Amino acid sequence: MNSLPRPDIGPFADTPEKRWVGVSFGAAAVGYDGVAALQREVGESLLAGIRHLGPPPARMLDLGAGTGHFSGLLVAAFPTAECLALDIAEGMLRFLRSHRPGADGMGLVVGDAEALPLADESVDLIFSNMAFQWCERLDRAISECCRVLRPGGRLAFSTFGEATLGELRMAWRAVDGYTHVNAFATRRSVEQELRAQGFTKIRLDARTLRRGYPSVLALMKELKALGARNLTRNRPRHLLSRHTLERVSEAYGRLPGMASAVTASFEVLTALVEK
Ligand SMILES: C[S@@+](CC[C@H](N)C(=O)[O-])C[C@H]1O[C@@H](n2cnc3c(N)ncnc32)[C@H](O)[C@@H]1O
């Protein structure tokens, strides 16, 4: 399929507009846990990877904590550590405070991963599950983690890789010239950035999870319910018509292997590193 011409709106056309990220996730907070099965699966294996890695932290940060599912599990795994749950979406932290057992003992911080409101070398462990793909600049988020970690501190994060939602991206390309799916990081760029920041003991994994959906519309609805709306600068600013949605469904169905079932790929990158 050929790409249609697209407006020239600069190098960040496919990255999310930050001012809307907090709003979108805040609005999704109430329903988020009910639809975040993939995020949970990824986070559980990330957490398993750090449980027995090095000494227990004194201070840990759940970065992009969302509803705090993993903040709670971090507290259970490291009960003597102080836990900070930080998110750009105030609505997420409000939900965490009123629904997550143990929230009273956590420090809740509204903040941006790309400009952490934390002192240099003040944290021993940073856990971040499925949040970095929402940053405008992943390199800034990684360098902020490096800044706030104490020497010997650990960073464990997961994010989406470039193949994520490749089918949906391709189907939309046949329909219009807008961006409908964020650009995600490549494994190579993540590795380069971790090395550039001086992280050591780098363990970086990439795996692709595939999920089936009853229809393309069901896939798009799930993304919306997760708060994972299309917030790219080159997104369409008008409502999508029924006809447009039918066209994208048809284009999806013409992709190889998609004639009888709608499958979406999610490339998950996970990194465990030490400062
Ligand atoms: C997919 S949710 C994951 C939530 C949680 N970590 C989990 O695994 O359930 C992504 C979270 O990252 C937050 N987020 C996105 N961009 C962020 C940023 N620049 N700084 C801090 N949090 C951010 C969103 O508000 C959202 O709560």
Stretch 78-92: mean pLDDT: 96
Stretch 75-95: mean pLDDT: 96
Helix (H) or strand (E) holding 216, with range, is helix 216-225
Mutate to test the pocket of ligand 1, among 17, 18, 20, 21 (most ligand atoms within 8 A of CB): 21
Nearest of 26, 34, 35, 152 to residue 88 by alpha carbon: 26
- Flag whether 49 is in a domain: yes
The amino acid at residue 269 is L
Q: What is the overall mean pLDDT for the chain? A: 89
User: Are the CB atoms for 126 and 149 separated by under 8 Å?
Assistant: yes
Nearest of 145, 175, 104, 96 to residue 272 by alpha carbon: 145
CA distance linking residue 151 with residue 235, whole number of Å? 41
How far apart are the CA of 134 and the centre of ligand 1, in A?
7
Atom 27 of ligand 1, residue of closest alpha carbon: 66
Stretch 208-237: mean pLDDT: 83
Using 50, 70 and 90 to split pLDDT, how confident is the model at 16? low
- Flag whether 25 is in a domain: yes
Per-residue model confidence (pLDDT) at position 3? 44
Helices (H) and strands (E) in the chain, counts: 9, 7
How far apart are the CA of 169 and the centre of ligand 1, in A?
22
CA distance linking residue 200 with residue 236, whole number of Å? 41
Does the pLDDT value for residue 70 go beyond 90? yes
Atom 4 of ligand 1, residue of closest alpha carbon: 66
Nearest of 118, 119, 120, 124 to residue 57 by alpha carbon: 124
Number of domains the chain contains: 1
How far apart are the CA of 87 and the centre of ligand 1, in A?
6
Q: Encoding tokens for residue 264?
A: 């979406």
- Flag whether 219 is in a domain: no
Domain that holds residue 56: 18-164+183-212+264-274
User: Are the CB atoms for 69 and 104 separated by under 8 Å?
Assistant: no
Q: Report the CATH number at residue 67.
A: 3.40.50.150
Give the single-character DSSP code of 26. Answer: H
Count the alpha carbons within 13 Å of 263 in the hemisphere toward its beta carbon.
11
Sign of CA pseudo-dihedral 61, 160, 92, 230:
positive
Report DSSP letters for 143-183, one per residue.
HHHHHHEEEEEEEEEEEEBTTTTHHHHHHHHTT-SS--S--
How far apart are the CA of 188 and the centre of ligand 1, in A?
23
Pocket of ligand 1 (CB under 6 A): 21-22, 25, 36, 39, 43, 64-66, 69-70, 87-89, 92, 112-114, 129-131, 134-135
Nearest of 184, 193, 188, 170 to residue 252 by alpha carbon: 170
Q: Encoding tokens for residue 187?
A: 């494994």
Burial group, residue 34, by CB count within 10 angstroms (0-12, 13-18, 19+): exposed
- Flag whether 232 is in a domain: no
- Flag whether 62 is in a domain: yes
- Flag whether 233 is in a domain: no
How far apart are the CA of 228 and the centre of ligand 1, in A?
10
Sign of CA pseudo-dihedral 139, 72, 201, 37:
negative
CA distance linking residue 188 with residue 175, whole number of Å? 30
* Residue 187: other Cβ atoms inside 10 A: 16
- Flag whether 6 is in a domain: no
Atom 13 of ligand 1, residue of closest alpha carbon: 64
- Flag whether 225 is in a domain: no
Give the pTM: 0.91
Which ligand 1 atom is nearest residue 135's CA? Answer: 19
Segment among 65-79, 88-102, 167-181, 191-205 with least mean pLDDT: 167-181
Using 50, 70 and 90 to split pLDDT, how confident is the model at 9? very low
Per-residue model confidence (pLDDT) at position 5? 45
Stretch 202-214: mean pLDDT: 95
Q: Encoding tokens for residue 169?
A: 């991206």
Which ligand 1 atom is nearest residue 16's CA? Answer: 16
Atom 1 of ligand 1, residue of closest alpha carbon: 130
Does the pLDDT value for residue 4 go beyond 60? no
Mutate to test the pocket of ligand 1, among 88, 137, 142, 184 (most ligand atoms within 8 A of CB): 88
Which ligand 1 atom is nearest residue 66's CA? Answer: 27
